[in-house]
A and B are shown apart, each in its own frame.
Chain A
Amino acid sequence: MKRRRMPAQVGIPLGVRDLPEYVWNGDLIEFDGPVLSLYRLPEQRKDALFLLVDRDYVAERWCICEVSREQLDGYLKQQITLLSILKKAPYTLFFDQGDHGRRSAARVSWDEFPEQYRPSSKSLLTDEISTDTAKKLAADELVEFQLELSGDDLFFEDLSQISRSYQQLYSFHYGLRNLDRIAVRERVVALMGRWTSGLSAVNLFSGLRNVIPSLHRPRVTHLHYASPGHIRLELLPEMSGEISRVVNHAAHPDIELQLEALYKECYEYFKTQRLAGFEDADNRISERLTPVQARQISQFVAQYFSLLMLADYKGPFSELEATPLQQLRAVLAYHRRLRHLVYYVQIGQVTLPD
């Protein structure tokens, strides 16, 4: 019996290398594998949906459609259909995925979008088909949170530093809070394992951003550049609350002293144990730890989580597929960024309501 093959691809042909590099964030529908997945395009800070439209014995055909924050939120909450998202997109991208890689990529306008692949006018993300990941994303409600700015000597670079530090802390806390999401956990472990240069710490925080879908990213709703002024954000309430608690706690002189003492102790330990420095293929420091070193370093990580009042994350963080040294490096990088915001809180230029 002749086996069915998918019809020829329509639209403007593209090389598969011309397809943007999206980062997987999670599956919204799955049956015998992913059917609809959420991806992120890091450079352009966009979300995209990957939809399985067809399959034969050789390959699967996927359609990529970029989606705005509002559309994603509406779709997750069963308020708008997938059809409406596809119709409004300036174009979609198609490709065939076989065991030997991708082929037959094309850029397709709505007019060219094959009829047989179009979702119906009832293409909602209903409970019968949505994954737990999708349900959780739909359940998240955002709130407004205001960073208060004050002080006479607030310079332009201070605004930049405050925003960047807050963003980086947010990324780290988001990672901690969402370690049960595969995309986040994989990303955290992959980034912690790449400690090959001073840029690695930067990559950790910017890389974590790539697994935060647009509807979870802090969005500026109001800016008041004055003294006093504010930056008002729309974001996840548990995140804003947690960051405020940690920063305000760390700003307390006693706690700050203890944190700095711990930081110093960690680096002294690195020095005496010859664990300092960057890793490369010939120098995998983190994989050469003795049991005693691993125990001590794990203890440092535990002490940090206790001092920062993040004890709930100690367990899940320690269970990550990363060595104790990789975990500690990540926490030390977090401490360095925490210091920036703590400084501004201590001199009264930033207030983070609890």
Chain B
Amino acid sequence: MVLLQLAWETRVSNKYKYQNVIQVFDPGCKNCPPVDSAERRLTAYRWTKNPVTAECIRPPGILKPGRIERAHGKSKKCKLVGLSLHRTQDESAAAYKALSQTVSMMAEVFGDHIAEVHLLPTHGRSSAPNSSGHFDFYEYAGVDLLASFQVVQKV
């Protein structure tokens, strides 16, 4: 119980970049970022434009706040305050290729390159990846990852 309390306090005291947005639907940030999220050291991949712009790495709910309002349930709202990333370049490319069969305007909607970023525990918290290697990343306050994203592949 004490460990859980400590863990929760750590999660809240490291103020999130978009904490004021999270607090609206999850006061105290109890479930957002998700409870299974953790500070990790890893390399991750995101679909972006080339060059990577600030907009490419801004969570969708921050770019368009109305999306958070319309989202169903706290976990969906939480996802919109995180950045979608993949664990490996191959997983990112495979998902892009698969989705491009359904969404023909992939370049306009998501960008047409894959960018790599080296995440540190001090940058934020990562949710647990799903079976396709996709996870959400929640930045800490004061973190600016724009310069950290490097384009590695055109898709």
Contact = CB atoms under 8 A, between A and B. Distances in A.
Interface of A: 4, 24, 27, 29-33, 35-36, 51-56, 60, 82, 97-100, 116-120, 122-129, 132, 182-183, 185-186
Given A99-B66, A182-B76, A129 B102 contact: yes
A49 to B, nearest CB: 10
A123 B108 contact: no
29 contacts: A27-B76, A31-B47, A32-B84, A32-B110, A33-B80, A35-B102, A36-B102, A52-B103, A53-B105, A54-B105, A60-B64, A97-B66, A99-B65, A99-B67, A100-B66, A117-B105, A118-B104, A119-B102, A120-B100, A120-B102, A123-B101, A125-B102, A128-B98, A128-B99, A129-B98, A129-B99, A132-B130, A185-B73, A186-B73
Contacts of B76: 27, 182
Interface in B101-142: 101-105, 108-110, 130-132, 134
A120 B104 contact: yes
Given A99-B64, A99-B66, A182-B76, A128 B94 contact: yes
B104 A128 contact: no
Interface residues of B, number: 36
Contacts of B100: 120
A39 to B, nearest CB: 11
Given A116-B105, A129-B98, A183-B72, 13 more contacts: A24-B72, A33-B60, A54-B108, A55-B109, A99-B67, A120-B101, A123-B101, A127-B132, A128-B91, A128-B95, A129-B95, A129-B132, A182-B76
A141 to B, nearest CB: 20
A129 B99 CA distance: 6
The CB with the most chain A CB atoms within 10 A, among B64, B76, B102, B132, is that of B102
Nearest to B68: A33
A211 to B, nearest CB: 11
A98 B132 CA distance: 30
Nearest to A117: B104
Contacts of A54: 105, 108-109
B75 interface: yes
B79 interface: yes
Contact of A29 (B71, B94, B99): B99
B101 A33 contact: no
Nearest to A189: B73
A186 B77 CA distance: 13
Contacts of B109: 52, 54-55
Interface in B56-92: 59-61, 64-67, 70-73, 75-76, 79-80, 84, 91
Contacts of A82: 102
A99 B66 CA distance: 5
A257 B57 CA distance: 62
B155 to A, nearest CB: 13
Contacts of A56: 108
Given A54-B109, A119-B101, A31 B132 contact: no
Nearest to B69: A99
A230 to B, nearest CB: 39
A182 B84 contact: no
A119 B60 contact: no
